[in-house]
Structure 1
Amino acid sequence: MSIKIRLSNVSKTFTTRAAAGVAPAPFVALQNINLDVRTGEFLTIVGPSGCGKSSLLDMIGGLSKPSSGEILLDGKPITGAALDRGIVFQQYALFPWRTALQNVAFALEARGMPKAERFEIAREHLALVGLSEFEGRYPHELSGGMRQRVAIARSLAHDPAVLLMDEPFAALDAQTRETLQGELLRIWERARKTVIFITHGLEEAVYLGQRVAVITSRPGRVKAVIDIPLRDRASTEDLRSTPEFGALRHQVWSLIKDEVVKAQALELS
Structure 2
Amino acid sequence: MTASISFRGVTKTFPVRGPGGARQRTEFTAVDRVDLDVAAGEFVVLVGPSGCGKSTLLDLLGGLTRPTAGEILLNGTPVTGPGLDRSTVFQQYALLPWRTAQGNVEFGLESIGLPRRQRAARAREYLGLVGLAGFEDRHPHELSGGMKQRVAIARSLAYDPDVLLMDEPFAALDAQTRESLQDELLRIWRRTGKTVLFITHGIEEAVYLGGRVAVLTSRPGRVKAVLPIDLGSRGEAQEAQDLRSSPEFARHRHEIWSLLRDEVSRAQQLEKEAAPV
Q: TM-score, normalised by structure 1?
A: 0.97
In structure 1, the partner of 2:188 is 187
Paired residue secondary structure (1:48): coil
- Gaps spanning 5+ residues in structure 1: where? none
In structure 1, the partner of 2:262 is 258
Shift of residue 200, structure 1, vs aligned partner: 0.1
Shift of residue 236, structure 1, vs aligned partner: 4.1
Instruction: Name the amino acid aligned to 1:246.
Output: A
CA distance in 2, matches of 1:16, 1:261: 24
Shift of residue 232, structure 1, vs aligned partner: 3.2
8 A contact 2:63–2:82 mirrored in 1? yes
Tell me whether 1:115 sits opposite 2:105 in the alignment: no
CA distance in 1, matches of 2:189, 2:117: 26
In structure 2, the partner of 1:56 is 57
In structure 2, the partner of 1:146 is 147
- The match for 1:240 among 231, 237, 244 is 244
In structure 2, the partner of 1:18 is 18
Tell me whether 1:211 sits opposite 2:215 in the alignment: no
In structure 2, the partner of 1:161 is 162
In structure 2, the partner of 1:267 is 271
8 A contact 2:3–2:41 mirrored in 1? no
After the TM superposition, which parts of structure 1 deviate over 3 Å for at least 4 consecutive aligned residues? 19-22
In structure 2, the partner of 1:41 is 42
CA-to-partner distance for each residue in 1:41-68, whole Å, 9 max, x for gaps?
0000000000000000000011111011
- % identity of equivalent residues: 64
| CA RMSD in angstroms, aligned pairs only | 1.2
CA distance in 2, matches of 1:95, 1:156: 17
Tell me whether 1:96 sits opposite 2:100 in the alignment: no
8 A contact 2:3–2:162 mirrored in 1? no
Instruction: Name the amino acid aligned to 1:249.
Output: R
Residues 262 and 94 (structure 1 numbering): CA distance in 2 closer, same or farther, change over 3 Å? same
Paired residue secondary structure (1:164): strand
CA distance in 2, matches of 1:58, 1:29: 12
Instruction: Name the amino acid aligned to 2:254.
Output: H
CA distance in 2, matches of 1:193, 1:219: 29
Shift of residue 229, structure 1, vs aligned partner: 1.2
Paired residue secondary structure (1:23): strand
8 A contact 1:3–1:36 mirrored in 2? no
Instruction: Name the amino acid aligned to 1:198.
Output: I
8 A contact 2:207–2:253 mirrored in 1? yes
- Give the alignment of 1:66-85 within 5 angstroms: 66-85=67-86
Shift of residue 25, structure 1, vs aligned partner: 1.2
Shift of residue 17, structure 1, vs aligned partner: 2.4
In structure 2, the partner of 1:6 is 6
- Gaps spanning 5+ residues in structure 2: where? none
CA distance in 2, matches of 1:3, 1:57: 15
Instruction: Name the amino acid aligned to 1:243.
Output: P
CA-to-partner distance for each residue in 1:65-118, whole Å, 9 max, x for gaps?
101100000000001111100100000001111100010111111111111101
Residues 3 and 142 (structure 1 numbering): CA distance in 2 closer, same or farther, change over 3 Å? closer
CA-to-partner distance for each residue in 1:173-207, whole Å, 9 max, x for gaps?
11110000000000001001000000000000000
